[in-house]
Amino acid sequence: MRSSNYLLATLKETPSDAEIVSHQLMMRAGMVRKVASGLYTWTPTGLRVLRNVERIVREEMEAAGAIETLMPMVQPADLWQESGRWQDYGPELLRLQDRNQRDFVLGPTHEEVISELVRKEVSSYKQLPLNLFQIQTKFRDEIRPRFGVMRSREFIMKDAYSFHIDEASLEQTYQVMFKAYQTIFSRLGLDFRPVIADTGSIGGNLSHEFHVLAESGEDAIAFSDSSDYAANVELAEAIPSKDKADPATATMEEVETPNAKTIQALVEQFGLAIEKTAKTLIVHGVNENGDASGLIALMVRGDHELNDIKASKLPQVASPLTFANDDEIRAAVGAGPGSLGPVGLPLPMVVDREVAVMSDFAAGSNKDGYHYLNINWGRDVELPAVADLRNVKAGDPSPCGKGTLDIKRGIEVGHIFQLGTKYSDMMKVGVLTESGKHQNLLMGCYGIGVSRIVAAAIEQNNDANGIIWPEAMAPFEVCILPMNMHKSARVQEVAERLYEECKGAGLNVLFDDRKERPGVMFADIELIGIPHVIVVGERNLDEGMIELKNRRSGDKEKVAIADVVQQLTATNNR
């Protein structure tokens, strides 16, 4: 490609609405342009990168035995009514009507369509297992699209769906997909981790997310420092620091704390260790039928954070988790939120595992302006129900039993899970078994955020000059950068010759033949992040050399003109 025939579309200035570095660089490098909130055009450079990601994903999916399909983005509502998700999905599902007022959706995912296909086309256990995938545009009407293509409304996803007659077959394909994902993200040159994830309301036994590690990641991941254990902080089990509480050493006393409305204030007033305090949070409760029913108190240690997901999974707690307001608390307890505690609390209570092993701790006394010091379970108040309620934090023991936890941020780029029979039951996806009986199929589902990977890769690979592509993703593997070509017939001749040679060798090459100053060209090419640059200039031509520059290391080496292309193809690892 000659840059004079190409659309570089680079920008000097950073658009004001781009917050994170990948969004800024994708705009500046001319990879995407926003069309509306959460909707982007992929400009030529961006599309080349996107196609590289797709190519690697496709190759590895096929190598793992999956078969490519392509399903429509617009899907009829009746399929969604059949699966129940027409009701369940909420406003993220964009619904629309055709000219005959028939209802349709823009597909946020394709379980319904693939189920419809498989129930029609597959009728015997002999046709199983089957793993079908596509690389398709999805649409989710996100409440708040942000960070460019990282969280956009329209995005490209690889989604695969597998169908099985039994658990063993599902498990086997799941493991094959797990390995394929590791290969894909490794080939893409990403620093990533598989992470134990929520099986959630979907059910199923097992789920893993694949995260690219980056400061800007929207998820927090807990890692063991001594094993492979990694889990989303939302889900990581918090292990108490000891088996049981230490014996009490002091008698409980009530103290006046007129200004201590927060744990921090309480700690300062009495010079307490924050680990010797506990906070009491009041949320809405439910009865056995799941109907709203009164309030319930949750307690975590003063320096710990309540985990919303864990709390809302408790049978006594309303889901989604809803905090009581000041008036509700006052009506139920007779004191405000700053003075709550376990002693004399007229509400049902669940305490975190760590709270259950505390001794001599401080908490509110359920009277405005008073706290108790030196509370001890059993002696001063009965120990209520105990549950895992808090977020893990760095330094906690790892739930795998080995080492302690460290917390890093990650960007979710892949998610695999065993769906079980949720969709096949709803949509009657089944076959005849060996014994001639009808049986609904087990399903697995495997997603990769193709467009998000492009942004995630930039988050991990950039410097002050721009993007530094992993070679497998780079829009061009090599750029020929002639110095003042329009003044030197020699430079032009060599540049043209190398350009033809590169093309002949199958390299994706950009020939920057613009009549620009060298500084402008260097800056643009580094911004775009092309891994290898061949600098052709009068300076080295007398010796028959060019300069080969590496984007990542910045290293420059003189290479004989005759050897350059051979050297580049030898190290090419696309």
> Which range touches RNA (CB under 7 A), out of 240-248, 333-341, 450-458, 529-537?
529-537
Told to check if 537 binds RNA by CB under 7 A, we report yes
**Residues 22 and 458: beta-carbon distance below 8 Å:** yes
Of the candidates 132, 161, 119, which has an alpha carbon nearest to the alpha carbon of residue 439? Answer: 119
Q: In angstroms, what is the minimal distance from the CB of 17 to RNA? A: 4
Beta bridge partners of 447: 159, 415
Stretch that binds RNA, among 118-126, 176-184, 325-333, 511-519 (CB under 7 A): 511-519
* Minimum CB distance to RNA smaller for 376 or for 540: 540
> Shortest Cβ distance from residue 519 to RNA (Å)?
2
Sole binder of RNA in the list 144, 249, 570, 573 (CB under 7 A) = 144
**Nearer of residues 240 and 410 to RNA, judged by Cβ:** 410
**Helix, coil or strand: residue 284:** strand
Q: Which residue has the tokens 């001594």?
A: 226
Cβ 124 vs Cβ 115: under 8 Å: no
Q: Does 436 bind RNA (CB under 7 A)?
A: no
Measured from the CB atom, the residue of 372 and 423 that comes closer to RNA is 423
For RNA, the binding residue among 172, 182, 465, 567 (CB under 7 A) is 465
List the beta bridge partners of residue 286. 292
CA 263 → CA 79, 149, 504, distances in Å? Answer: 52, 40, 70
320 binds RNA (CB under 7 A): yes
Stretch that binds RNA, among 35-43, 275-283, 391-399, 561-569 (CB under 7 A): 35-43
Residue with tokens 């429509």: 72
Minimum distance from residue 262 beta carbon to RNA (Å): 17
Verify binding: residue 517, RNA, rule CB under 7 A.
yes
Task: Find the farthest-apart pair of alpha carbons in the chain and give their distance in angstroms, rounded.
Answer: 94
**DSSP-derived secondary structure letter, 118:** H
- Contact (CB, 8 A) for 323 and 306: no
Nearer to RNA, 340 or 411 (CB): 411
Site for RNA contains 553 (CB under 7 A): no
**Contact criterion met (CB below 8 Å) for 163 and 46:** no
Given a contact cutoff of 8 angstroms between Cβ atoms, the answer to whether 448 and 57 are in contact is yes
Residue in 524, 530, 532, 565 binding RNA, rule: CB under 7 A: 524
Nearer to RNA, 350 or 419 (CB): 419
Letters for 77-106 (x = contact with RNA by CB under 7 A, - = none) are -------------x-x--------------
Give φ, ψ of 427 to 5 degrees: -110, 10
Q: Which of 538, 543, 557, 560 binds RNA (CB under 7 A)?
A: 538
Whole-number minimum distance, CB 192 to RNA, in Å? 17
The nearer residue to RNA, 377 or 476, going by C-beta atoms, is: 476
Per rule CB under 7 A, count of chain residues that contact RNA: 49
Subset of residues 193 to 222 that bind RNA, contact rule: CB under 7 A? 200-202
* 134: three-class secondary structure by DSSP: strand
**One character per residue 225-254, x = contact with RNA (rule: CB under 7 A):** ---------x--------------------
The residue from 427, 483, 502, 507 that contacts RNA (CB under 7 A) is 483
Burial category of 74 from C-beta neighbours within 10 Å (exposed 0-12, middle 13-18, buried 19 and up): exposed
Q: In whole angstroms, how close is the CB of 302 to RNA at the nearest point?
A: 19
* Of 359 and 540, CB closest to RNA: 540
* Nearest alpha-carbon partner for 533 in 484, 505, 568, 571: 568
Contact 426, 440 (CB under 8 A): no
CB of 449 to RNA, least distance (A): 12
**Cβ proximity to RNA, 4 vs 97, nearer residue:** 4
Query: Does 379 interact with RNA (rule: CB under 7 A)?
Result: no
Pick 387 or 483: Cβ nearer RNA:
483
Say which residue the tokens 């080492």 belong to: 403
Question: 384 preceded by cis ω (within 30°)?
Answer: no
Rounded to a whole number of angstroms, the minimum distance from the CB of residue 4 to RNA is: 12
Alpha helices in 29-150 (DSSP H): 44-63, 77-83, 85-88, 111-121
Place of tokens 């990977």: 453
For residue 19, state whether it binds RNA (rule: CB under 7 A).
yes
Closer to RNA by CB, 128 or 213: give it. Answer: 213
Structure tokens at 364: 């509110």
Question: Do 290 and 314 contact (CB within 8 A), yes or no?
Answer: no
Selection from 254, 240, 236 nearest residue 356 by Cα? 240
CB of 35 to RNA, least distance (A): 9
Q: C-alpha distances in angstroms, 574 versus 94, 116, 444, 474, 526?
A: 38, 37, 30, 9, 20
Minimum distance of RNA from residue 228's CB (angstroms): 23
Q: State the distance between the two ends of the chain, measured CA to CA, in whole angstroms.
A: 18
Among 46, 107, 129, 145, binds RNA (CB under 7 A): 145
Peptide bond before 482: cis, by omega within 30 degrees of 0? no
* Interacting residues toward RNA by CB under 7 A: 10-17, 19, 34, 36-38, 90, 92, 143-147, 200-202, 234, 308, 320-321, 465, 483-484, 487, 517-520, 522-524, 526-527, 535-540, 547, 549, 556
